[in-house]
């Protein structure tokens, strides 16, 4: 499968590839939950730190391996360089996500440190790592995708939509936190993680839909 992806390394990728990558990411997410629940009998609500740790540990290798196949300018940049970029992107993205969360009101304090770190690593593998693998440190591309939100082509939508989905989902996920229902899932970062994952999945579905649409459009163009 890896070879197959490497055969057409240009920036446009087919909708089946988009589908494949997204399904793999979603499956990795599900696998993370499954392993946590059945192997370690952990639960996001009762032990958020370990569960989040397990989920991102399963999610991010999959993300790095898959997205490194779609790296730009493959002639200049080997597969392993892309993986290294992804590995480097993980802590940087985590730092940015953590800072954002702290600015928005994530609790400060030593007892929350582990949770915040694990959450931001997960967020980083949703948002930052894929783009780091594909574009590396190309400022113009980052700028186009994240600052201007003007992605073009299915690949960029594949990077842009799930990342934005995860951030917006996390933002909405924070709203139940102050309510006085006194449910254990209202604690930081449980509902925020749920929101982020939901947003991520919605973003992936949207990105796949757009890829299909663009593909159909291109076919139509060719036919004409």
Partner 1 sequence: MWGWWRFGKWTVLIMFLHIIAILIFTKGFLLTRTELPHSSHCSDLSQSPCHSSPSSSSCWTKPAVDRLIIIVLDALRFDFVAPSSFFEEKQPWMDKLKVLQRMASENPSSAKIFKAIADPPTTSLQRLKGLTTGALPTFIDVGNSFGAPAIVEDNFINQLIQNGKRVVMMGDDTWTQLFPNHFNKSYPYPSFNVKDLNTVDNGCIEHLLPSLYQQDWDVLIAHFLGVDHAGHIHGVDSTPMIEKLEQYNAVLEKVIKELQNQSGPGKLHENSLLLVMGDHGQTLNGDHGGGSPEEVETSIFAMSFKDLPSLPSEFDSSSCEPSKNICISSIPQLDFAVTVSSLLGVPFPFGSIGRVNPELYALAVCTWNLDDDKTWNNQDQTKLEEWLQNYANVLCINSWQVKRYIDVYSASSVIGFSSEDLFRISDLYSKADENWSYTKNLSSYKNGSSNTSLPVLKRQIVAYSNFLSYVAELARSKWTEFNLKMMGTGIGIMLLSLYCHTLAIKKLNKSYGVSLLSSRDSGISFGLMLTFFMVLIRAGSLLSNSYILKEGKAANFLLATTGIMTLRYSFMKNKMLIEVSAAIFLLLTFIFRIAIEVGLYKQAATSQFMSSSSSWMLGISISQSLWTYMAEIMPILALIVLGYFLYKSISSCCWGIPKYVIMGTILCYFLVALHWISESNILDLAHFLKGFGKNCIPRTVYAITLVQLSLLAIVPMFCKEETSNCRGSLFVKMMSILSACSSTIIILQGKQGALVALGSLLAGYCMMRLQGIEQHTVSGTAGISILDPLPVLQWSLLAVCLLFASGHWCAFDGLRYGAAFVGFDEFILIPQAILLTIDTFGFSHILSVFGLPLFVAFPSSFNQTEHKSLFPIKLFWIFMVYGLITAITAAATILCVTIQRRHLMVWGLFAPKFVFDVVGLILTDLLIFVASIYYFNGLEDRIGNAELRRLW
Q: Which of 174, 192, 196, 211 binds partner 1 (CB under 8 A)?
A: 174
Output the smallest distance, CB 115 to partner 1, in A: 14
121's CB contacts (< 8 A; 6+ apart) are: 52, 53, 56, 60, 90, 91, 94
Q: Which of 180, 221, 223, 224 binds partner 1 (CB under 8 A)?
A: 180
Q: Does 171 bind partner 1 (CB under 8 A)?
A: yes
Q: Which of 3, 38, 80, 178 binds partner 1 (CB under 8 A)?
A: 178
- By CB under 8 A, the residues from 199 to 218 that bind partner 1 are none
Burial (Cβ within 10 Å: 0-12, 13-18, ≥19) of residue 215: middle
Burial (Cβ within 10 Å: 0-12, 13-18, ≥19) of residue 76: exposed
- By CB under 8 A, the residues from 25 to 84 that bind partner 1 are none
Output the smallest distance, CB 65 to partner 1, in A: 29
188's CB contacts (< 8 A; 6+ apart) are: 106, 107, 112, 115, 116, 177
If the CB atoms of residues 148 and 221 are measured against partner 1, the closer one turns out to be: 148
Of the candidates 142, 162, 206, the residue with the CA atom closest to the CA atom of residue 63: 162
Output the smallest distance, CB 152 to partner 1, in A: 16
Which residues in 161-192 are b (16+ Cβ under 10 Å) and which e?
Answer: bbbbbbbbbbeebbebbeeeeeeebeebbbbb
Q: Does 143 bind partner 1 (CB under 8 A)?
A: yes
| End-to-end CA separation in angstroms for the chain | 33
- By CB under 8 A, the residues from 97 to 116 that bind partner 1 are 100, 102-105, 107-111
Q: Does 223 bind partner 1 (CB under 8 A)?
A: no
- Separation CA 37–CA 28 (nearest Å): 14
Output the smallest distance, CB 22 to partner 1, in A: 25
Output the smallest distance, CB 113 to partner 1, in A: 11
Output the smallest distance, CB 177 to partner 1, in A: 9
Q: List contacts with partner 1 (CB under 8 A).
A: 100, 102-105, 107-111, 143, 146-148, 171, 174, 178-180
């Amino acid at each position: 499968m890896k070879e197959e992806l490497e055969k057409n390394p240009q920036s446009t990728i087919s909708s089946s590839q988009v589908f494949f990558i997204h399904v793999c990411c979603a499956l990795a997410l599900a696998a993370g939950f499954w392993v946590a629940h059945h192997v370690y009998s952990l639960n996001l609500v009762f032990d958020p730190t370990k569960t989040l740790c397990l989920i991102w540990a399963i999610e991010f290798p999959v993300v790095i391996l898959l997205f490194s196949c779609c790296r730009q300018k493959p002639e200049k940049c080997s597969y392993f360089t892309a993986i290294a970029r992804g590995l480097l992107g993980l802590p940087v993205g985590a730092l940015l996500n953590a800072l954002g969360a702290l600015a928005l009101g994530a609790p400060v304090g030593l007892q929350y440190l582990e949770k915040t770190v694990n959450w931001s690593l997960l967020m980083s593998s949703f948002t930052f790592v894929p783009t780091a693998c594909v574009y590396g440190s190309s400022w113009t591309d980052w700028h186009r995708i994240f600052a201007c939100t003007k992605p073009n082509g299915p690949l960029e939508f594949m990077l842009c939509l799930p990342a934005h989905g995860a951030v917006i989902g996390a933002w909405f996920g924070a709203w139940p936190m102050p309510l006085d229902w006194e449910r254990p899932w209202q604690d930081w970062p449980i509902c925020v993680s749920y929101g982020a994952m939901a947003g991520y999945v919605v973003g992936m579905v949207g990105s796949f839909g757009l890829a299909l649409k663009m593909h159909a459009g291109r076919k139509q163009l060719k036919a004409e």
